[in-house]
Amino acid sequence: MTGRAARRAGPPGSQGRPPGIWRSPAAARLRDTAAAGLLAALIIAWAAVPAAGARPGTRITIIIAVISAIASLGRLATADAQVGGHAFDTLPVRAAAQAIMATKFLPWSEILIVAVLVLEALHQHGAWHAGVLGVAVLAYLFAVHLGESGTRLRALAPQLPVLAAGLGVLVLAVAAAVLPQLTGGPGELLRVLAVTAAVVAAALALPVTRR
């Protein structure tokens, strides 16, 4: 039984260090992390540039965004890593274990999202600028989700109609924002409320249409 199977497995020379039988998920993890990293860099750059002439608080928001981006990427890259945990670990191993623990301490992706939206709000770009940022942030969220759950892109297929509807509403909102502005404060507020109401109405209507 077992002896024959073991002999088939090869000579005992490779004892203790059997070759991996399954493709290492490291490559997929690296690809997902790289995609999320690129998108994170893109959304920070898009929301932060130009840094000069922005309102106060821009610099600290950029710093927060960069730190949270790095930490969220670290968390994504080291999701499966098991470093340290033994009594006699060396100093670098213990430091690495602490660093990995730190990435899991706070919801860095959420902080990044809030930071880039605040950055965008601190700048006086056009409405289309915020629209593009919204699409990029969404792409970043899905990249992080795919990386975390280890699922493939096709797992998102059921969400595509809803996502398309959401992007449609986003385009409508941006279009509403670039329309010639009404004069006075009450008109502007009215416009914001109208767009918000449109978003909520679409959200309420969607589950009915889905079924």
Partner 1 sequence: MTSGPASTAAPAGPGAAPGFVTSPAPGPANAADGLPCAVLWSLSAHARRLLTLAAAGLVLAVVTGRPEFAGVAAPAVLLLAAWPARRPGRVTVAARVTAQQLVEGEQAAIVVRLSGHGDLAVQATITAAEAFESGPGTEQGAGGSAALRVPFRVRQWGVRRVGRLDIVLRDRFRLWEGRLGLTLPRVECHPRPAELRGRIVLSRLPSRLGEHPSRAAGEGIEFAGVRQFVPGDRQRRINWPATTRTGSVQLNTFTAERTQNIVVLADATASVGEKGATSLDLAFRAAAGTIGCYLAAGDRVGLIVYADRLSWIGPGLGRRHFHRLMDLLLGSQPGWELSAALTRLPKAALPPGALILVFSPLLHPRLVEALRDLRERGFSVLVVDVLTAVPAARSRDRVAGLARRVWRLEQQAIRFSLTELGIPVVHWDGQQSLDEPLAPYTRRVMLAGRT
Contact positions with partner 1 (CB under 8 A) in 108-127: 109-110, 113-114, 117-118, 120-121, 127
Binding mask 181-200 for partner 1 (x = CB under 8 A): -------xx-xx-xxx--xx
Cis previous bond, 12, omega within 30: no
Q: Note whether 210 binds partner 1 by CB under 8 A.
A: yes
Residue 99 vs 127, nearer CB to partner 1: 127
CB 183: neighbour CB atoms within 10 A? 8
Residue 81 vs 128, nearer CB to partner 1: 128
Residue 51 vs 178, nearer CB to partner 1: 178
Q: Note whether 106 binds partner 1 by CB under 8 A.
A: no
Residue 17 vs 180, nearer CB to partner 1: 17
b/e burial code for range 162-179 (CB count within 10 A of at least 16 → b)? eeebbeebbeebbeebee
Q: Which stretch binds partner 1 (CB under 8 A): 32-40, 56-64, 92-100, 146-154?
A: 146-154
Residue 191 CA, distance from chain mean position = 30
Residue 71 vs 130, nearer CB to partner 1: 130
Could you give the CA distance from residue 145 to residue 100 in angstroms, rounded to a whole number?
Answer: 19
For residue 205, the SS3 value is helix
Which segments of 78-184 does DSSP mark as H helices, in order? 91-103, 108-122, 127-149, 160-178
Q: Note whether 148 binds partner 1 by CB under 8 A.
A: yes
Q: What is the dihedral of CA 15, 79, 41, 156, to 10 degrees?
A: 110
Min CB(4)–partner 1 separation in Å: 9
Contact positions with partner 1 (CB under 8 A) in 11-70: 11-13, 15-18, 20-22, 25
Residue 68 CB-density burial (10 A; 0-12 exposed, 13-18 middle, 19+ buried): buried
Contact positions with partner 1 (CB under 8 A) in 152-181: 155, 158-159, 162-163, 165-167, 169-174, 176-177
